[in-house]
Amino acid sequence: MDLNEAIRSYRPCRAFKPQPIPSEKLRAVLAAARLAPSQGNMQPWRFVVVQDDERKRLLAQACPKGKPVAEAPIVIVAFSVEEDIPVTIGGYMSAYPLDVAVAIGHLQLAATAEGLGTSWIVDFHADKVRTVLGVPEGIHPLAIIPLGIPAENGGTLAPAEGRKSPDEIIAYNQFAW
């Protein structure tokens, strides 16, 4: 699948088949995250690949809607190393989550191109995630990403409102809304 097709076909996947993921597909997905650009090439991301059923179960318990986390054959937890990115966006907003979000975007598109499903979960109890994975201070869990072969409908919800039209989100030369 080419990049454009992956962008167009990506939908969050919330239900997975129990089959394991071929290791070359997992490698391709992780390689895409590793190659993402970052501020000053600091690469302030860390990814913990969880395959152990007991840890997946505990991670699922850290999420109010943890079923996909328990069910997926692999769960990737993405972290940011805050001290690597001391800058702010425009002097007012901490920038450390940005790079990791870019890398997760790469990861999800690569997974789509490999025929795998992912979703992006930010609704989790950070303290529980820290305990389950042994995360030190200054490292922030940003996303829990279940990864696997999508079940029949992949648990995909119908888009409530689809996407905004270009006119609603793009303006030229001035902020026009």
Ligand X SMILES: Cc1cc2nc3c(=O)[nH]c(=O)nc-3n(C[C@H](O)[C@H](O)[C@H](O)COP(=O)(O)O)c2cc1C
Under the rule (CB under 6 A), what is the footprint of ligand X?
11-12, 119-123, 156, 159
How far apart (Å, rounded) are the C-alpha atoms in residues 85 and 68?
31
Question: Which CB atom, from 33 or from 41, has the smaller least distance to ligand X?
Answer: 33
Question: Which CB atom, from 20 or from 115, has the smaller least distance to ligand X?
Answer: 115
CA distances from 39 to 82, 96, 99, 140 (A): 12, 9, 7, 17
SS3 of residue 91 by DSSP = coil
Question: Which CB atom, from 91 or from 163, has the smaller least distance to ligand X?
Answer: 163
Residues 6+ apart with CB under 8 A from 15: 67, 68, 71, 150, 151, 152, 153, 154, 155
Closest approach of ligand X to the CB of residue 172, in Å: 26
Question: Which CB atom, from 44 or from 154, has the smaller least distance to ligand X?
Answer: 154
Query: Positive or negative CA dihedral for 159, 161, 167, 169?
Result: negative
How far apart (Å, rounded) are the C-alpha atoms in residues 53 and 63?
16
SS3 of residue 5 by DSSP = helix
